[in-house]
Homo-oligomer: A and B are copies of this chain.
Amino acid sequence: MDRVATFNEFLREKGLKNTSQRMLILEAFLNSDSHYSTEDLYLKLRQDNPKIGYATVHRTLKLLAESGLAIELNFGDGQARFEPVHEAEHHDHLVCTKCGLIIEFEEPRVEALQNEVAKRYNFMIQSHRHELYGLCQDCAKKA
């Protein structure tokens, strides 16, 4: 089942409706590997669909997060970002504090340690965030 179908099923289960706006937003969201903020995606969609509203984009992104198709990220700049979830893949982020570059990384050994920590505290992990902040190669060179 592709992700459009997954989202439709999610909507049906929730008693929500499948609208043209939701499909537009879903498509634009999936066809990118960016880390969109509501504002970013809103502005992008406006280019082809001048009538779409900010609130609708935001509500749909929240729905996508709820449905598991998106993950909400917060890098501490006061703007939530949303990232498409690519099944069976997990990664975390390096964030350049100078230019804003976001690099994704995977490190299964960290996940293993997380589980160990959780066990230590009888904690049941639902999700996690792991972000490294600093300077990317280019910015470090310039500094």
Does B133 lie within 8 Å of A105, measured CB to CB?
no
Which B residues touch A134, using CB under 8 A? 118, 123-127
Integer count of this chain's copies in the complex: 2
Task: State which of B74, B114, B122, B137 has its C-beta within 8 Å of the C-beta of A140.
Answer: B122
Does B128 lie within 8 Å of A133, measured CB to CB?
yes
Which B residues touch A114, using CB under 8 A? 110, 132
Does B126 lie within 8 Å of A135, measured CB to CB?
yes
Does B110 lie within 8 Å of A123, measured CB to CB?
no
How many residues on the A side are at the interface (Cβ–Cβ under 8 A)? 35
Known: A117-B107, A140-B122. A131 touches B129 (CB 8 A): yes
Task: State which of B97, B103, B113, B126 has its C-beta within 8 Å of the C-beta of A133.
Answer: B126
Task: State which of B110, B124, B135 has its C-beta within 8 Å of the C-beta of A135.
Answer: B124
Which B residues touch A94, using CB under 8 A? 117-118, 121, 123
